[in-house]
Chain A
Amino acid sequence: MQALCKTLFFTSGAVFLLVLVFLWSALHFDLLSLNHFINDLISYRFVGYTLPEALNIKADWEVGEGVRQMKILFTGIIGAGSLYLIFISYLPCFRLQMKFLSFALSLPLFVLLFAFWERLMQDDKVILSQEKGGLFLFTVSLYSVAVFCLWYCFKRPSSPLRAKSKTDTSGAKQTKDRESKMPDAQVFADNPTEAPEQTLPAAADTIEESPQIEAAQVPTEKTDDETFGDPEQPPANPEEGEEQSKPLAEPKEEAIEQISGETADEPDLPQVSASNDEVELSDEQSYGSEDSLSGEEKQISDSPSVAGESENPADLLQETGAKPS
């Protein structure tokens, strides 16, 4: 899109510049007569004003003088416009190009509108009702377009990252709420080293402020996914599965004890007796470093539904495939 627009703007600017060259050449070698066109243009009336009157130029032009003035006017407008289009084509992104274009459109429109109305207000000319209709349409359309262009060029971009972070924040809050409802939440909160998941809500609060923190949320969720992502397919290596399940199992000792008691024949159930050291180790192993996160992992981390589910014992049961009594 960027390349296409760059080409489009650059080509348009170049073509208009070429048109200018051809126009001047044609006029120089008498290949083109502008007399009729200029006459029509000069005699055209809008709200009782001819073009020279509206531009506050002497109305009693001769044809030769009119042609000269019009040539200068057209050259100025087309030349400036072409150069501006070429300049726009060198801007780095499509959005910026469009903003510059809309700004360049809105300013002349405003100037034209206000200059014309100023002339109208200062003048003493009678305006007939049919001319008033045309004037109304002219004013409303010009004003609307100019205001829209100005609004667009100063509009702040609605960043997808910001929108997502808002969603993440709400997801993290939901997690916190669920956690606070758990009977043993206070116990884990007292000793954060025993409960690495307890740091999640705190990190989620700062998601908006730092994208790195947002990324840091990923490993937990990744672990969740890897451990409980597909209940139908348990991990091929029991050790690997054991390692990955440790951080989730530890904070919910009572719950998992209850579960393990009821489903004793399940060999892949999380180990309850993991020490703090093991927890930290498993954190490092399973989370990895923040920098090593791939794009896919970030996408996974964006899913708010994953973050809190693993903390609910009932959900854990469901996800591990254990059947509650």
Chain B
Amino acid sequence: MIRKIFTRLLALIVFLLTIYLMQGASYRMIEKYAKFRLHMAWGQPESGKINPILSKLPLDHFRSPPQVADASFDDFSQEDEYARKIMSFARPLRDRYSDYCLSQNDSLSSYEIVDLEMARALVKPGLRRPATALDVERGLARRIGMPIEHSRGLVIFLETELTRPVYQERFARLENTFGFLLSHGLACLLLEVSDSNELSTLLEQLKSNHPNLAEKLFVCAQGESASILLEAFKQAPGLFHGLVVDSPARAVVAPQRNFHAWILSLCPPHQDQLISRQRELLRWASKARESHFLYPSRLGGLLMFKSPSEKLSLSSHAVAFLLECMDYFERMGPISEQELLALDSLVPDPSLSGIFGPETDPVHGVEVSEAEPNFECRVISEYRMMHADNVDIAGVSNRELVLRLGASFEAMGGDALDQVALKDPLFYRYYLSLKEITD
């Protein structure tokens, strides 16, 4: 009898351990499963919500971001550990990237390289889509439906000094990284800049002249160019969607106001003495995570040590971060910077006091006022149209309507609110933010 119980117990233990091992191995090795588990834990990017059942398990996805206390080395280590754990779902992608870089030769042979008026050698991914009315209006196509070239985003690698030999050497080193990013629909560019103003101007021109290629901008820089990038970002945060900053040469103070772009900071490993510029990177990472959306509040600001064993032109962590960032903004849809900031500014945070006041835009020299959100969204518009003759509803503010309708959807139970969230993500976000305030 005892023997039987012992045998069955041992068999059960082996079975459970096998299940655990298979699950872990799948998460470590299979890209699709890793993404699936992330979405199970956090929900879809547009309606990020922590899974209440899975959150009981000790999974990497449910790690809380570290709080920066005194910007000491311990904080740095905590940030590094957090970043590695929270990005653990990207390990299969990083494996694939490393394999690609080590195995590919002449990876750009199938891609078109064009010179632009403000930059040379832009590599296009070769994606095409039918032109819309907006494209015709912009002059990108003669008629609607005509195939036009586009990209899911533009990755720019910054350099401060690019003489011809240096440029060729740098470009050759980046070829495989370009190839990998191009295969994911991202256009690539190696750009020379000397200061932040020049960078801002160039990026604005790119965005206005090539909106189908540079709709979303992701910029990577190292050393001095990283400092220039951070300065340019402070001047015009709305231009950027994702930044990878590798060991900036100078300390750039983190901005006071919130921004929606994601930032990954890389630092040399094992430095017991933190210097001021690295301490400042901690604040950048912490600031970038200040968001009321789940994905940016976890992934928006990361900081990690560079892996000494990795001999790639761009760190695999950076590539995974850029692709996740692109995926997030693509899923969020065309939400303007103003809308995102307005949503983020809804929650009064005492630690952020003073940032809601008027601020002077250093680039344009004009006073920038914080936009007052009007909570205009599809659900509210349709609701008002349906009750156009109702005077009572006409007198209710959008804010009040969002709260009332959201509460009624929630009271309906089931997945009514989730369905509305799918139909109108903006309404859903408005409701969550307002609910948090009123609660």
With A117-B25, A126-B94 known as contacts, the answer to whether A154 contacts B10 (CB < 8 A) is yes
Bound CA span A48–B27, Å: 18
* A121 and B25 contact, CB distance less than 8 A: yes
Bound CA span A113–B7, Å: 21
8 Å CB contact of B84 from A117, A121, A124, A128: A124
Chain B CB within 8 A of A127 CB: yes
- Residues of A within 8 Å of B10, CB to CB, are 150, 154
Q: How far is the CB of A195 from chain B (nearest CB, A)?
A: 42
Chain A CB within 8 A of B88 CB: yes
Chain B proximity mask over A33-50: 1 for CB below 8 Å, otherwise 0: 000000000000000100
Chain A CB within 8 A of B405 CB: no
Chain B CB within 8 A of A148 CB: no
Bound CA span A114–B99, Å: 26
Does more than half of chain A's interface fall in helix, strand or loop, or is it mixed?
helix
Chain A proximity mask over B29-49: 1 for CB below 8 Å, otherwise 0: 100000000000000000000
Interface set, chain A 107-133, CB cutoff 8 A to B: 110, 113-114, 117-118, 120-121, 124-129, 132
Chain B CB within 8 A of A147 CB: yes
* A128 and B102 contact, CB distance less than 8 A: yes
Chain A proximity mask over B1-38: 1 for CB below 8 Å, otherwise 0: 00000010010001001100100110111000000000
Q: How far is the CB of B321 from chain A (nearest CB, A)?
A: 13
Central interface residue in B99, B307, B310, by most chain A CB within 10 Å: B99
Closest chain B residue, CB of each to CB of A131: B95
Bound CA span A147–B102, Å: 37
Bound CA span A8–B309, Å: 47
With A126-B310, A154-B7 known as contacts, the answer to whether A147 contacts B91 (CB < 8 A) is no
- Residues of B within 8 Å of A117, CB to CB, are 21, 24-25
Chain A CB within 8 A of B98 CB: yes
Closest chain A residue, CB of each to CB of B81: A124
Bound CA span A125–B92, Å: 10
Q: How far is the CB of A226 from chain B (nearest CB, A)?
A: 44
Closest chain B residue, CB of each to CB of A129: B99
8 Å CB contact of B28 from A48, A110, A113, A121: A121
Chain A CB within 8 A of B258 CB: no
8 Å CB contact of B14 from A110, A120, A121: A110
With A117-B24, A121-B24, A121-B25 known as contacts, the answer to whether A128 contacts B98 (CB < 8 A) is yes
* A124 and B88 contact, CB distance less than 8 A: yes
8 Å CB contact of B99 from A113, A118, A125, A128: A128
8 Å CB contact of A121 from B7, B27, B102, B307: B27
- Residues of B within 8 Å of A150, CB to CB, are 10, 14
8 Å CB contact of A114 from B21, B94, B316: B21
- Residues of B within 8 Å of A114, CB to CB, are 17, 21
Bound CA span A125–B95, Å: 9
Chain B proximity mask over A262-302: 1 for CB below 8 Å, otherwise 0: 00000000000000000000000000000000000000000
- Residues of B within 8 Å of A126, CB to CB, are 91, 94-95, 98, 310, 316
Q: What is the interface of chain B, defined by CB distance below 8 A to chain A?
A: 7, 10, 14, 17-18, 21, 24-25, 27-29, 84, 88, 91, 94-95, 98-99, 102, 307, 309-310, 316
Known: A113-B21, A125-B309, A128-B102. 15 other contacts (CB 8 A): A48-B309, A110-B14, A110-B17, A117-B21, A117-B24, A126-B94, A126-B98, A126-B310, A127-B28, A127-B95, A132-B95, A139-B25, A150-B10, A150-B14, A154-B10
A to B CB contacts below 8 Å, 28 in the list: A110-B14, A113-B21, A114-B17, A117-B21, A117-B24, A118-B24, A120-B28, A121-B25, A121-B27, A121-B28, A124-B307, A126-B94, A126-B95, A126-B310, A126-B316, A127-B28, A127-B29, A127-B95, A128-B95, A129-B95, A129-B99, A132-B95, A143-B18, A147-B14, A150-B10, A150-B14, A154-B7, A154-B10
